[in-house]
Amino acid sequence: MARFPELVFSGVQPTGNLHLGNYLGALKRFVEMQATHAALYCVVDLHAITQPHDPAQLRQATREVTMAFIACGLDPAKSILFNQSRVAEHAELAWVFDCVARLGWLNRMTQFKEKAGKDRENASVGLYNYPVLMAADILVYRATHVPVGDDQKQHLELSRDIAQKFNNDFAASIAERGHGDAFFPLPEPLIQGPATRVMSLRDGTKKMSKSDPSEYAHIALTDDADAIVQKVRKAKTDADALPGEIAGLAGRPEADNLVGIFAGLSDETKEQVLARFAGSQFSVFKSALADLLAAKLAPIRGEIIRLRDDPAYIDGVLADGAHKARAIARPNMEAIKDIVGLIR
Ligand code: ATP
Ligand code: MG
């Protein structure tokens, strides 16, 4: 297959306050990738309207996610930061991909099943179609690497299937137009580190999510030290002391989760964390974890609060980012139309 220049793309939905899972699974990774790669980081507002929403809150959340991007260390001069709906090519390519993806593929998507719940007949078509738009988000830039949390693995596999099928279905046209043997790269998920799936603090078998109604289930990036201490203290655990080795976390989802969070924050492996806390009671470990969390989140929280006073700056970042993103997306979309046979 043709070689593609390395390009990173990832997105975050403006569906509520960002939490520790978003930070460890996504934003912290975005910042690391920024040092070595050209990257686009997108506030995926078109994904946020797949479920009922309030327009004023959506606008606010779009700005808040942008502030969190910057507060965590993304630099609008290095990476392209923008909101998805500004670049119409995402939605345009999604339609082409709707005609490439198969119903059977989408029927297997577990996120739809979870989010639609019992009343599936009443879910929006957009919620069902979400992974196809996500494939378009990535592939409209022909991005090669996608840092995400573990929950997005299945959607990334679908993106690869769509890219592959498009390359196959239109192989002759792709070659004829001078694009070699493939127009799209098969985007690689980057799901790395000790905290790719941060779980709810109330239930170690449930993903920490923005949409979780329980206050104590998640730690928000804007929680202050008091809130962090409270939430960590109340976090569910079992009665045993911490084990010295990973094997001792088996069947203990809450303990495993807290150790993973610690490791993710301190840039250690879970083994290293356990070596330090082997035999400790949770009271001791939780107190160290709360201190670490408070120390790591304080500068992010401070920066978000500072940026809230400057909405014009945030809007400027988004406008400028959209302009740069469009400059990549537009020629790609034109080439796609030519390949498919759409006169322009
Ligand atoms: P929602 O409940 O609205 O889907 P969310 O918390 O899942 O919100 P998303 O905007 O869907 O957040 O996801 C943004 C990024 O954060 C994705 O890369 C996703 O994989 C990652 N992510 C989300 N939740 C977690 C988690 N609990 N642990 C690790 N990564 C996560
Ligand atoms: Mg999600």
Could you report the per-residue pLDDT of 237-290, keeping only the tens digit for each? Answer: 999 999 999 999 999 999 999 999 999 999 999 999 999 999 999 999 999 999
Residue whose CA lies nearest to ligand 1 atom number 14: 12
Distance CA(15)–CA(57), nearest Å, equals 9
Which residue's alpha carbon is at the smallest distance from atom 11 of ligand 1?
13
Indicate if the pLDDT at residue 203 is higher than 70: yes
In this predicted structure, what is the pLDDT of residue 126?
Answer: 98
- How many Å lie between the centroid of ligand 1 and the Cα of residue 334? 32
Band (80; pLDDT cuts 50, 70, 90)? very high
Six-digit token string for 319 = 């406008």
pLDDT of residue 213: 78
The one-letter amino acid at 18: L
- The whole-angstrom separation of Cα 116 and Cα 121 is 8
pLDDT band at 1 (very low <50, low <70, confident <90, very high): low
Query: Which of the listed residues 9, 17, 22, 28 should we mutate to test ligand 1's pocket, taking the one with most ligand atoms within 8 A of CB?
Result: 22
- Summarize the confidence of residues 124-131 as an average pLDDT: 98
Q: Residue 307 CB: number of other CB atoms within 10 A?
A: 20
Contact criterion met (CB below 8 Å) for 195 and 126: no
> Closest-lying ligand to the alpha carbon of 194?
1
Q: What is the residue with the minimal CA distance to atom 13 of ligand 1? A: 12
Share of the chain above pLDDT 90, in %: 97
Which pLDDT band, with edges at 50, 70 and 90, does 308 fall under?
A: very high
Residue 264: the pLDDT is 97
Strands (E) across 152-272 are located at: 188-190
Q: List active site positions.
A: 115, 207, 210
Average pLDDT over residues 182-197: 96
Residue environment code for 123-133, b if the CB has 16+ CB neighbours within 10 A, otherwise e: beeebbbbbbb
Judge whether residue 18 has pLDDT over 70.
Answer: yes
Distance 245 CA to ligand 2 centre (A): 31
Nearest CA to ligand 1 atom 23: 22
Task: Give the largest CA-CA distance in the chain.
Answer: 69
Mean pLDDT, rounded, for 150-177: 98
User: Which-ligand-closest: CA of 147?
Assistant: 1
Alpha carbon of 242 to ligand 1 centroid (Å): 28
- Report percent pLDDT > 70 for the chain: 99
Ligand 1, atom nearest to 13 Cα: 10
Which pLDDT does position 54 carry in this prediction?
97
- Cα of 218 to ligand 2 centre, how many Å? 14
Residue among 9, 69, 151 to mutate when testing ligand 1 (max atoms within 8 A of CB)? 151
| Ligand 1: nearest atom to the Cα of 149 | 20
Distance 262 CA to ligand 1 centre (A): 18
Ligand 1 atom with least separation from CA of 207: 27
pLDDT band at 204 (very low <50, low <70, confident <90, very high): very high
Nearest alpha-carbon partner for 4 in 188, 165, 189: 188
List all residues whose CB is within 6 A of at least one atom of ligand 1: 12-13, 15, 21-22, 24-26, 148-149, 151-152, 196-198, 207-211
**How much distance in Å is there from the Cα of 209 to the middle of ligand 2?**
7
Confidence grade of residue 81 (pLDDT, cut at 50, 70, 90): very high
User: Among candidates 257, 218, 217, which has minimal Cα distance to 237?
Assistant: 257
In ligand 1, which atom is closest to the CA atom of 150? 20
The amino acid present at 147, given as its one-letter code, is P
Q: Which two three-digit tokens encode residue 68? A: 């969190």
Tokens of 269: 């492996």
Decide: 130 and 152 in contact? Cβ < 8 Å.
Answer: no
What burial class does residue 1 get, using C-beta atoms within 10 Å of its C-beta: 0-12 exposed, 13-18 middle, 19+ buried?
exposed
Per-residue pLDDT at 212? 79
The mean predicted confidence, pLDDT, of the chain is 97
Scored b (16 or more CB within 10 A) or e, 48-75 reads bbbbeeeeeeeeebbbbbbbbbbbbbbe
Confidence of residue 2 (pLDDT cuts 50, 70, 90): low
Mean pLDDT of 144-164: 98
